Amino acid sequence: MASTIQAAAVSHVGKVRSNNQDSAFAGRQLFVVADGMGGHAGGDVASALAVTRIKDADKQPYASPQDAEYALRAALVAANALLSETVFEHPELTGMGTTVSALLRVGDTLAMAHIGDSRIYLWRDDALEQVTSDHTFVQRLVDSGRITAEEALTHPRRSVLMRVLGDVDAHPEIDTSILETRPGDRWLLCSDGLSSYVSEELITKTMAESADPERTADALVKHSLDSGAPDNVTVVVLDVREGTADRPTPPTTVGAAAAPLAFESDSGRRAVRLPNLLLHPLRATTTREAEFEPESDEYLELLIAEDRRRAVRRKITWLVGVILVALGVLIAAVLGYQWTQSRYYVGASDGSVAIYRGVQQGVGPFALSSVYDTTDLEVADLRPYYQSQVEGTISANSLSEARDIVERLQNAAAD
C-alpha cells in the first residue's frame, strides 16, 4: 500500500535556559532529535554537528529496511567520530555530547537508531507506547529491579546519562531496530524537555487532538512551556498516511542545527569535566543539567554504592540533628529551672507567712516553687492590706530580700 509521511519539527529554548542545545530534523524519510550537553556552548555544537552529519542519510533511497538500519547506525558512528575530531581541534569543547533518536523510513518500515534519553513514541489506536528505552542511570536501576518507575521520576540522579555520542567512547553502544508502521500511525520524537515535564497522559491526549502534525507539535511544546519549561524542548511529529502526498513537506531543521555553527572559543564557554559526581555531591540546581557517566557495570556499582552511602549519611545527619535539638531543649530547660530556683517570694502556707523558693508560675502540672522557710507569723494576724498582699504573693530577687519582706511584715503586725 502506498503511504506518505507528513511531519513537523518544533524546538524551543524553554523558559530558563539561555541557549538551545537541542537540534532536530524532519526530512523526506529521515527524522532526528538530538539533545546536546556540555556547558555553556558545547551542547549546541554537539547536537548541531550530530544532526548535520546524520542528515546525509536522508539523501539516498534504501533498498531494504536492513540497509536503512545499517546506514543509520553508520551515520551515528560517523557523528560520534566527528564530535571527537571537533573536540581534538577545539579542546574547550571537551566533554560535549549529545543524545540522538532517529527514524529512517523505507516503505512501511522504519529503521530506528537511539542513544541517550531522548525518546521515540508510537501513538496507535489512541494508545501511546515508548519505543526507545532511556540510557540513564535510573533506567538501569529500574531494569535491575532496584527502584520502581515511580521512584525514578524523582530520583536525584535522574538526569545522569550512561550513553551518549561524544568524545569519550570511540565505539558507542547504539540501539537499532526495524519497526513496522502503517497508515494512521503517529510517531513522536522528543527531547527530555518534553518527556520529563509533560505527563504521558497529556502527551497521549494531545496526540489525539489534531490531525495536523504541525499543530500537535506546537501544542506539545506549549504544554512544556506551561509547566515552566526548565529545559530546551524539541519535538518531531510524523504521521503515516495512505496514498501519495500532493504536497510533500519540505525538510525542516530546528534548534541549534538551524543556526550557523559558531564554536570559536569564547570566554563564557567552559570545559565540562566528565566523571565528577563521585567527588562532588549533586548540585542543587532547579534546572537539571544532563550529566554524562560512561557506562560500565563496575561504574554502575560504584554509583549505586555511593547512593547508598549518601542515604546512610542523610539518615545520620537527620539523627544527629534530632539529638542536637533534643539536647538544646534539655539544656534550655535545665538552665531555665536553675534560674527559677534563684528566685524567692513570700506567700502563705497553711495560714503562716512563708518564704518560697522558685517562681509563682508553674509549667503545666509542674510547680516551679517549694516552701523554703515557714515563719511563726500567722497571716490572720496581719492587717487586711498585708493579708491580701501575702495571699497574692510578694516577689523577691534574693533570699535576703525575702527575709527583709518578712521582717517588715512582722514589724507591721507588731505595731
Measured from the CB atom, is 231 or 293 closer to Ca ion? 231
Q: Minimum distance from CB of 118 to Ca ion (Å)?
A: 8
CA-based nearest residue to 133, from 99, 107, 167, 165:
99
CB 300 within 8 A of CB 140: yes
Window contacting Ca ion (CB under 5 A); options: 82-90, 190-198, 359-367, 389-397: 190-198
Window contacting Ca ion (CB under 5 A); options: 193-201, 215-223, 277-285, 349-357: 193-201
In the chain, the amino acid numbered 81 is A
Q: How far apart are CA 306 and CA 283, in angstroms?
A: 15
Q: Count residues near Ca ion (CB under 5 A).
A: 5
231 counts as binding Ca ion under rule CB under 5 A: yes
Q: How far apart are CA 153 and CA 117, in angstroms?
A: 13
Measured from the CB atom, is 58 or 192 closer to Ca ion? 192
Helix extents (H) in 293-398: 297-340, 384-391
CB 345 within 8 A of CB 405: no
Q: How far apart are CA 108 and CA 286, in angstroms?
A: 43
Measured from the CB atom, is 44 or 185 closer to Ca ion? 44
Q: Minimum distance from CB of 137 to Ca ion (Å)?
A: 15
Window contacting Ca ion (CB under 5 A); options: 34-42, 88-96, 172-180, 201-209: 34-42
DSSP state of 272: P
Q: How far apart are CA 337 and CA 148, in angstroms?
A: 52
CB 34 within 8 A of CB 120: no
Residue 8: strand pairing partners: 237
Measured from the CB atom, is 181 or 191 closer to Ca ion? 191
Instruction: Give, for 138, the enclosing helix (H) or strand (E).
Output: helix 137-143
Window contacting Ca ion (CB under 5 A); options: 62-70, 164-172, 229-237, 293-301: 229-237
Q: Minimum distance from CB of 278 to Ca ion (Å)?
A: 23
Q: Half-sphere exposure of residue 213, counting CA atoms within 13 Å on the CB side?
A: 22
Measured from the CB atom, is 109 or 191 closer to Ca ion? 191
Measured from the CB atom, is 55 or 288 closer to Ca ion? 288
44 counts as binding Ca ion under rule CB under 5 A: no
Residue 179: strand pairing partners: 110
Residue 103: strand pairing partners: 31, 112
Give residue for cell 507539535: 217
Q: Minimum distance from CB of 193 to Ca ion (Å)?
A: 5
Window contacting Ca ion (CB under 5 A); options: 32-40, 68-76, 250-258, 267-275: 32-40
Q: Which of 192, 239, 291, 293 binds Ca ion (CB under 5 A)?
A: 192
Give residue for cell 524523582: 154
C-alpha cell at 390: 501575702
Measured from the CB atom, is 290 or 348 closer to Ca ion? 290
In the chain, the amino acid numbered 95 is G
Q: Minimum distance from CB of 231 to Ca ion (Å)?
A: 4
Measured from the CB atom, is 185 or 192 closer to Ca ion? 192
134 counts as binding Ca ion under rule CB under 5 A: no
Map the footprint of Ca ion across residues 57-116, applying CB under 5 A: none
Window contacting Ca ion (CB under 5 A); options: 137-145, 225-233, 235-243, 335-343: 225-233
Q: Minimum distance from CB of 2 to Ca ion (Å)?
A: 37
Measured from the CB atom, is 193 or 213 closer to Ca ion? 193
Q: Minimum distance from CB of 149 to Ca ion (Å)?
A: 20
35 counts as binding Ca ion under rule CB under 5 A: yes
Contacts of 258 (CB under 8 A, 6+ apart): 11, 23
Neighbour tally for 335: CB within 10 Å: 10
Measured from the CB atom, is 128 or 290 closer to Ca ion? 290
Q: Minimum distance from CB of 233 to Ca ion (Å)?
A: 8
Task: Write out the DSSP string of 227-266.
Answer: TT--S-EEEEEEEEEES--SSPPPPEEEEGGGSPP--S--
Q: Minimum distance from CB of 54 to Ca ion (Å)?
A: 18
Interface residue list for Ca ion (CB under 5 A): 35, 191-193, 231
